Amino acid sequence: MMGGVGLLAARPSASTERVLRVCLHVIGIAMVVAFELVPVRRHGPVATTLVLAAVVVWVVAAILGPRIEQPWRTLPWTVVLVLGAIAVSARAPSASILVAAAVLAVVSAVDVPPAWLAAEFGAGAIGYVVGAVLPGFPGTADPFAVLFTVLVAAVVGSIGRNAALRQRGERALLRRRAETAVLAERARIARDLHDVLAHTLGGLVLQLDALDAVVSEKDDPEVTTRVRGARAMAADGLDEAKRAVDALRTFDGPLETTLASLAAQAPSAELTVRGPVDVPAEVADVLASIAVEALTNAAKHAPGQRIQVELTGTPAKVVLRVANPHSGARQGEGHGVRGMRERAALLGSTLTAGPDGSNWVVRCEVPRG
């Protein structure tokens, strides 16, 4: 947006950035109105119409721009640039402001390919030439002043672009360091689970097998039943520990890769990914843990049924949804659902789990930023 990226080299917070961006838009639009509409003497209906049209597009770009993905976000500014360039030839006093604002916004965009930038500036140059050759357009009184304004806006936009790219690189480095720390901690937990809990439970299963053989010879049904029940619980715990170790060692890549691996291990599970789903390591870790719990519950309560795993990303949030046919057997909220809620709370996100039509749905929505 106009100067939103270009002028804020050091961004204290997202809210501060939004306030400053709004202030820049308000100041720029107010300057256009002051130069073009406030003077008593008008500069012709054509020039006024061009300026008003550019201001309308500017307002639309300011309001909707943050919700539009790049490179499409710069298209409204290309329209402002073309209209402003034509208005320069009509000697509209605010045309230089329009052109400078558009140049600043386009140059400071960091996710726009160079080919797009060249095409957008080419469109602005064509607009200026068209305005210069149209009959009845007097032509700009001082083309060098307009050129100087454009160059200043381009330089400021380039500085902002470089600052934004540098900040992006620093954030990427911090993210990689955080991911490395998460992976190291995850590997440590997996080793501890395998070396301590899994080995202990495995030894307990063997001891209970031996005890079962002893008590079965004494012909005591109650003791035999209790021993075999304890053995079954230990065996289930061992299986859960092994699955936890496998899951921890699976979480070593992008979230969509981890979910694809988990879905491949679960019977009848299908994964659908939509939109940008890149998230920091700590977010991927929590969402993958929630997916493991949801898939485990689905396999337990609806064995053999189709499980739908959906990961959807937008510029504002990432949503994980796991759905399977509702058996009607679940009542209330068990330890698994509470655990998922606690994991989601670590991210400041919301998690819902319950019947939705004929399905049981677990849905976790994580806001970005």
The ranges assigned to domains in the chain are 14-141, 252-369
**Would you give the DSSP letter of residue 66?**
G
Q: Which pLDDT score, from 0 to 100, does residue 172 have?
A: 74
Q: Compute the average pLDDT of residues 99-110.
A: 86
pLDDT band at 139 (very low <50, low <70, confident <90, very high): low
Give the model's pLDDT for residue 276. 87
The pLDDT of 347-352, averaged and rounded, is 86
State how far the alpha carbon of 258 is from the alpha carbons of 177, 270, 283, in Å: 19, 13, 12
Q: Per-residue b/e over 174-213, b at no fewer than 16 CB within 10 Å?
A: eeeeebeebbeebeeebeebbeebbeebeebbeebeebbe
Mean of pLDDT over the chain? 78
Half-sphere exposure of 252 (CA within 13 A, CB side): 11
Q: What's the confidence (pLDDT) of residue 137?
A: 67
Q: Is the pTM of this model over 0.85?
A: no
Q: Which amino acid is at 193?
A: L
Cβ atoms of 102 and 81 closer than 8 Å = yes
- Pick the more confident residue, 194 or 92: 92
Q: Where are the alpha helices (DSSP H) in 251-359?
A: 255-265, 281-301, 335-346
Q: Do 316 and 336 contact (CB within 8 A), yes or no? A: no
> Are 2 and 99 a contacting pair, CB within 8 Å?
no
In this structure, the chain runs to a length of: 369
The pLDDT, as a whole number, for residue 328 is 62
Give the confidence band of 4 by pLDDT, cuts at 50, 70, 90: very low
Q: Which two tokens stand for residue 89?
A: 């030839």
Residue 246, pLDDT above cutoff 70: no
Pick the CATH number of 252-369 from 3.40.50.10540, 3.40.605.10, 3.30.565.10, 2.40.50.500: 3.30.565.10
The dihedral sign for the CA sequence 109, 110, 112, 115: positive
